Every structure is written in structure tokens, then in C-alpha cells.
């Protein structure tokens, strides 16, 4: 494998959700430890599943990986990091200040900006550490949009501090100035290819490779250059005439042959699809093995007969309601964008006014929906963080800046350069979209789990502030209250029929429950069981779906299953076909 050769001290795996970043990061860490190196595996994903891959608890502490000598792992927990960050700031002054002021400062430090800074400080600490006893630090990152934000932050915060931004007050930015050198060392490490290797991970799919190309371009713009491309889970040749196998292989071959732009110049590795789920050390060691897995045994039990409904059942039930917010949530790479688009197209085709939008910084709805001339009631938009912060800054300058003298205006403009304001700006656009669902359908494709949890955190903080400031007896409705209202908002949890995505979806469900939000329905996407393959490799993988599907169906009020398709579900016609699938019959769509 080219990406394993002459490995520098730091290596990042990044890419679109669901491409296998975590599996590759874990397998690489196991490989390096097996070569006698001391290795630390760090997950920067707020919804990390490294512990699930190794089948042992990891968490927000350095933990030895059982069965792999020389390998430790750590999952940066945003909430735990934020709590420790708050205590470092408040601890020294707690005895010197009145309880009321401590309570006020604690509230200031309870928002998503504090969470971001705290997680960021832990991340940069590893990059800036000069005396580490680890030979390699392997970073398993969050899906692309969140990771680009993380990798931009060293430069953003360094620039903010260098420009004279106030980082000394007691508040979310307290103590940033003392981290100036740490941020500078982190930035130097990120931009030095002899110190840091940035591996783009993709699938042999047009959307996945386009995402990798965008990532390479955006990071190059801030001086961070991708060094390798790994195309994961490529279907190996087995000579079987299965229609799904033939269609998949033809599509993958065409897509890989068309790789161009910045990706074409990168050293490339292709990893074949395996017959086992990537759970446990043995499976991880096999991932980087060149062994041909196409000759999988086929003497296992037959596939279940099926009988679960398709997306049409969900669309019919929603259409009878007439309006409301439909949020598709879940882990990156499970197909939230496709499911959200299919629901929106299905509702629009039934005559309803529908606005389809996304909060995912890396999502491109127009590439999925494409032509919609026959659906005039369907509109599209996206919450663009860059545009959101530009609009927010302009609005604040035009309103709060009115009447200020030149010095005060300059101070306000300086404060607005803080990276913290991006979360506020995105939240405002999110709130506006939520409010539109009073009179029509708003179908929302959300960012992957961790990023959505941070958005929910901002929503909760806004709700608490509103409750405290409203006079007694005044009626009000916050975005959180709308999300908690089952007659207004219906959450659709999207997952894959695999153990790790289902476990992560269950954990996300529990996080939402603590905020008073319950999923309305679950969608099990890209099911081989529903596609009824006959090729040995795909048949073996289909049999692995039984337990994950059972886990979901035993706990969810509504479940729909979407099969793996012969053609990618791009374009209004193919999306509409998804909502015409009535049951999990035995036919390949």
C-alpha cells in the first residue's frame, strides 16, 4: 500500500461520511503497531465509533487497545473536553467572585463555541507536542465538512489573536492567547508534508470522489495538501453474472477511469470489498491484506424472506399530514441526502409544497436532485456556513453598529471575526428553515451525527436563554420547542444494515432523547438483503445484515428498507422510483 510507505509522525484520514475512514485509520494503527512502533490513535469525530470497531470501551482518555501491543487510542469527547476547559478557567477565580457572577460565567461557557474551542485545544495539543513518546499519531476525523472546519481553525484562531482579537476576557475565548504558540506549532505541522500525511478516503462513486476532490482543493487553499488517495471497498472481479454485481463493477470502473484534477496526481491505493464487517483486530488486519475475498463460502443460511415496507409508506403517511418539518439524521455516509431528497420528491409529486434544504457543509443537494421541471412545488437550498457568517456579520454591523463611533465600530468588526460566530450564524439560518414548516413541508438533510449534535447544543442554549429573559405569562416558541413537538417535527433516523452504523444510530437516538426528541421513523438504507443478490461475495455480505435489521425493527415505531440499487439514485425520476417500492420483495430494483 503506497499510503503506508515511509509513514511520517502524523497521519490524517478524511473524506465523505461512510467511506471507511475509521476502519482504515484503525487498520493503519494496528499495522504500524505490528511493525514495532508506538502508536496513538485519536478520533476527532464528535460521534466516534473507534471503541465499537475495537469492540472495547475507549472514551476520552488514552486507553491501551487489547490485543495490540504498542497501540493506544483516544476518542476526544466534546462535552468532557468542554467541562475540563470550563474548570480550568473558573477554578482559579471561583473563590474570589460572587456566586451570581460564577453562575453567569458558567452560562457564558456552556455554548457550542466553548465545546469547539475545548475539542480544538485537545486536537492541537497532539500536533504541537514535542516530547511525545509515540512514533506515530493517527487521526480518525469526522466527515469532510466538520474536518475542514477543524483543520482551518489553527489558522483562524492564530489570525484572530494576531489581529488583536480580545482573547483575555472570562468567556468562551478565555486563555486563547496563552495557546498562541501551540496553535502556531499545530499549523506548521499540518502544512509540512514531511511531518503530516493527509490521506483522502473515498468510495468508487462519483459523489464520493467529487467530495474528495473538493476537500483537496479547499485544504490546499489554506496550505494543507493531500498526499494520498485511498479508494475503499472496490468490488473485486469474480466472473459471476449477478446483475447487481455487473452494474456495480461497470459503474466503479467508469468512475475510477475518470478520476482527474488534483486527485489524479496523488498516489492511489484501491482496497477490495471484504466479506466481513470491520469489527475486531482480526478483521482490521485483513483489511490491508491483498487477499482476494471474492471466493466467499455460500453454504450459510438463506436470506430472510423480507416483508418490510419501503419509503412509499412513509411518504404516504407524511402526505396525509400536509405540512411540517422532516429531518433526516444519522451517521455520515448512510445516505441521508438521498433519503431526504427521495422524501421531498415523493411529497412534491403528491402535490405538496416542499422545501428541501441541508445543514451539511459538505452536502450538494443539486447534484442529487438535478432536474425538477415537473415538480414546480419543490424548492432547494442549503445552509452555507461561509454565506451564513457573511450575512450575520453584515446584519450585526448594520444594526448593532448604528450610532457607534469609529473606535467602537472597529471593535465590533474585530469581535465578529472570531470563529465562534459561525455556529451562531448557521443556527440562525437553521431556525429560519424550521419556522417555514408551519405552512409547508421542510425536508432537512442534516450534517453527520457529531455536527448535528453541536447544532442541537446551540439550539438548547438559545432555548435556555429565551426562557430566562421572557417575562412571566408571555407565550413564545423556540426552535427547540418545535423540534420537541411530534406534531410539528418528524425525525427520520437513517442507518445502514451493519453493526457499527446501527450502534451509532442507537447512541444518537439516546442523545436526542435527553433533549426530549424522539425519532418518528427509521430508514435502513442500501440493503443487500432487499436487493436479493446471487453473487457469492454479495450474498455473504447480505447474510451479515440479519442482526442489524432485527435490532432496528425491534425498537423502532416505523421502519422502511431501501435496497442497494443497480443505478445511483440521482435525478428526480430515480428518486421518485424509491418511493414507489412497496415492500422488500425478492426482486432486484
Residue 588: helix, strand or coil by DSSP? coil
Dig out the grid coordinates for 110 from the structure: 456552556
Show me where the domains of the chain are located: 2-287, 311-393+426-578
pLDDT tens profile 138-196: 988 764 444 445 455 545 545 544 555 444 333 444 444 556 677 677 777 878 889 88
Mean pLDDT of 411-434: 71
Grade residue 304 by pLDDT with cuts at 50, 70 and 90: low
Do the Cβ atoms of 537 and 294 come closer than 8 Å? yes
Q: What is the rounded CA–CA span in Å between residue 587 and residue 589?
A: 6
Strand ranges (E), 392-501: 441-445, 489-495
Give the cell for residue 587: 426482486
Residue for cell digits 494503527? 29
Count of Cβ atoms closer than 10 Å to residue 486 Cβ = 12
Element (H, E) at 195: none
Q: How many CB atoms lie within 10 A of CB 450?
A: 23
Q: Bigger pLDDT: 379 or 297?
A: 379
Cα–Cα distances in Å, from 195 out to 7, 146, 484? 9, 22, 47
Give the 3-state secondary structure of residue 518: coil
Sheet holding 378-380, edge to edge: 378-380, 354-358, 441-445, 324-329, 489-495, 519-527, 559-563
- Look at the pTM and tell me if it is higher than 0.75: no
d(CA 62, CA 435): 43
CB 351 within 8 A of CB 322: no
137-158 as b/e: b if 16+ CB within 10 A: bbbbbbbbbbbbbbbbbbbbbb
pLDDT at 166: 45
Q: Which of 260, 203, 209 is nearest to 235 (CA)?
A: 203
pLDDT at position 173: 46
For residue 417, what is its C-alpha cell? 471575526
Would you say 273 and 537 are in contact if contact means Cβ atoms under 8 Å apart? Answer: yes
CB contact at 8 A, 327 and 415: no
- pLDDT for 521: 96
Give the model's pLDDT for residue 3: 96
Domains 2-287 and 311-393+426-578 in one fold: yes
Q: Domain 2-287: give its CATH code.
A: 3.40.50.300
Q: Please, are residues 39 and 72 in contact by the beta-carbon 8 Å criterion?
A: yes
Q: Are 522 and 493 in contact (CB under 8 A)?
A: yes
Joined grid coordinates for residue 197: 500525511
Handedness of CA 26, 512, 149, 569 (dihedral sign): positive
Based on the number of CB atoms within 10 Å of its own CB, is 189 exposed (0-12), middle (13-18) or buried (19 or more)? buried
Closest CA to 38 of 142, 148, 167, 137: 137
Share of the chain above pLDDT 90, in %: 28
| CATH architecture for segment(s) 311-393+426-578 | 3-Layer(aba) Sandwich (3.40)
Q: How far apart are CA 568 and CA 204, in angstroms?
A: 12
Provide the residue count of the chain: 589
Report CA 536 to chain centroid distance, whole Å: 32
CA nearest to 445, candidates 541, 356, 369: 356
Q: Which residues are catalytic?
A: 18, 20-23, 45, 500
How far is 517 from 307, CA to CA, in rounded Å?
28
Query: What phi, psi does 389 have (nearest 5°)?
Result: -70, -35
568 — pLDDT class (breaks 50, 70, 90): confident
Nearest-angstrom CA–CA distance, 479 and 433: 10
Specify the 3-state DSSP secondary structure of 309.
Answer: strand
pLDDT in tens, 358-385: 877 666 676 677 766 678 899 988 877 6
Q: Where are the alpha helices (DSSP H) in 44-199?
A: 50-54, 78-90, 99-108, 112-128, 144-162, 180-190
Q: pLDDT digits over 16-68, tens only?
A: 777 888 899 999 999 999 999 999 999 877 667 888 899 899 988 899 999 99
3-state secondary structure string, 486-547? CCCEEEEEEECCCHHHHHHHHHHHHHHHHCCCCEEEEEEEEEHHHHCCCCHHHHHHHHCCHH
Closest to 40 (Cα-Cα) out of 141, 134, 142: 134
8 Å CB contact between 526 and 18: no
pLDDT for res 143: 47
* 441 HSE (CA, 13 A, CB side): 32
Question: Contact 359/455 with Cβ under 8 angstroms?
Answer: yes
Mean pLDDT across 282-304: 64
Q: Name which of 340, 358, 246 is nearest 575 in CA terms.
A: 340
Task: Identify the band that residue 97 occupies on the pLDDT scale cut at 50, 70 and 90.
Answer: confident
Tell me the C-alpha distance between 486 and 326, whole Å.
Answer: 10
Give the residue-averaged pLDDT of 522-550: 90
Amino acid at each position: 500500500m503506497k499510503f503506508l510507505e515511509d509513514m511520517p509522525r502524523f497521519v490524517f484520514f478524511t473524506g465523505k461520511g461512510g467511506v471507511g475512514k475509521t476502519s482504515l485509520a484503525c487498520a493503519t494503527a494496528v499495522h504500524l503497531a505490528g511493525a514495532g512502533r508506538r502508536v496513538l490513535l485519536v478520533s476527532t469525530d464528535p460521534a466516534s465509533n473507534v471503541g465499537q470497531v475495537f469492540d472495547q470501551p475507549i472514551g476520552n482518555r488514552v486507553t491501551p487497545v487489547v490485543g495490540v501491543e504498542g497501540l493506544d487510542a483516544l476518542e476526544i469527547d466534546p462535552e468532557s473536553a468542554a467541562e475540563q476547559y470550563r474548570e480550568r478557567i473558573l477554578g482559579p477565580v471561583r473563590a474570589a467572585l460572587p456566586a451570581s457572577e460564577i453562575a453567569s460565567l458558567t452560562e457564558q461557557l456552556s455554548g457550542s463555541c466553548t465545546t469547539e474551542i475545548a475539542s480544538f485545544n485537545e486536537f492541537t495539543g497532539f500536533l504541537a507536542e514535542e516530547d511525545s513518546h509515540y512514533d506515530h499519531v493517527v487521526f480518525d476525523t469526522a466527515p469532510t465538512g466538520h474536518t475542514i472546519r477543524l483543520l482551518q481553525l489553527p489558522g483562524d484562531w492564530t489570525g484572530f489573536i494576531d489581529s488583536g482579537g480580545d482573547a483575555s476576557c472570562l468567556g468562551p475565548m478565555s486563555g486563547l492567547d496563552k495557546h498562541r504558540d501551540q496553535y502556531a506549532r499545530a499549523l506548521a505541522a499540518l502544512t509540512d508534508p514531511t511531518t503530516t500525511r493527509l490521506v483522502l478516503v473515498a468510495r468508487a462513486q462519483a459523489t464520493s470522489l467529487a467530495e474528495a476532490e473538493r476537500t483537496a482543493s479547499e485544504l490546499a487553499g489554506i496550505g494543507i495538501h493531500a498526499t494520498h488517495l485511498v479508494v475503499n471497498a472496490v468490488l473485486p472481479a469474480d466472473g459471476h453474472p449477478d446483475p447487481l454485481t455487473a452494474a456495480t463493477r461497470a459503474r466503479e470502473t467508469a468512475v475510477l477511469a475518470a478520476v482527474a484534477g488534483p486527485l489524479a496526481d496523488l498516489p492511489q491505493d484501491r482496497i477490495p470489498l471484504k466479506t466481513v464487517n470491520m469489527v475486531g483486530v482480526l478483521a482490521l488486519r485483513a483489511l490491508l491484506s491483498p487477499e482476494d475475498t471474492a471466493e466467499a463460502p455460500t453454504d450459510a443460511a438463506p436470506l430472510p424472506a423480507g416483508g418490510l415496507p419501503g419509503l412509499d409508506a412513509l411518504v404516504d403517511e407524511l402526505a396525509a399530514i400536509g405540512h411540517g418539518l422532516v429531518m433526516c439524521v444519522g451517521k455520515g455516509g448512510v445516505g441521508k441526502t438521498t433519503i431526504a431528497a427521495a422524501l421531498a420528491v415523493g411529497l412534491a409529486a403528491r402535490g405538496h409544497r416542499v422545501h428541501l434544504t441541508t445543514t451539511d457543509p459538505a452536502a450538494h443537494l443539486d447534484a442529487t436532485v438535478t432536474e425538477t421541471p415537473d415538480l414546480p412545488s419543490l424548492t432547494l437550498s442549503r445552509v452555507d456556513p461561509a454565506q451564513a457568517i457573511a450575512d450575520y456579520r453584515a446584519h450585526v454591523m448594520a444594526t448593532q453598529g448604528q450610532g457607534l463611533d469609529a473606535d467602537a465600530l472597529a471593535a465590533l468588526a474585530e469581535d465578529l471575526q472570531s470563529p465562534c460566530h459561525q455556529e451562531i450564524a448557521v443556527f440562525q439560518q437553521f431556525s429560519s428553515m424550521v419556522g417555514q414548516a408551519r405552512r409547508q413541508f421542510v425536508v432537512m438533510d442534516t450534517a453527520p451525527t457529531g455536527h448535528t449534535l453541536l447544532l442541537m447544543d446551540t439550539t438548547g442554549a438559545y432555548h435556555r436563554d429565551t426562557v430566562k429573559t421572557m417575562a412571566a405569562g408571555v407565550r413564545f416558541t423556540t426552535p427547540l420547542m418545535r423540534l420537541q413537538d411530534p406534531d410539528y417535527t418528524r425525525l427520520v433516523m437513517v442507518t445502514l444494515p451493519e453493526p457499527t452504523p446501527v450502534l451509532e444510530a442507537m447512541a444518537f437516538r439516546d442523545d436526542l432523547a435527553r433533549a426530549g426528541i424522539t425519532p418518528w421513523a427509521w430508514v435502513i438504507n442500501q440493503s443487500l438483503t432487499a436487493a436479493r443478490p446471487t453473487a457469492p461475495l454479495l450474498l455473504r455480505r447480505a447474510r451479515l445484515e440479519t442482526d442489524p435489521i432485527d435490532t432496528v425493527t425491534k425498537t423502532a415505531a416505523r421502519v422502511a428498507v431501501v435496497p442497494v440499487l443497480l443505478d445511483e439514485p440521482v435525478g428526480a425520476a430515480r428518486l421518485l422510483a424509491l418511493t414507489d417500492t412497496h415492500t422488500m420483495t425478492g426482486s432486484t430494483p
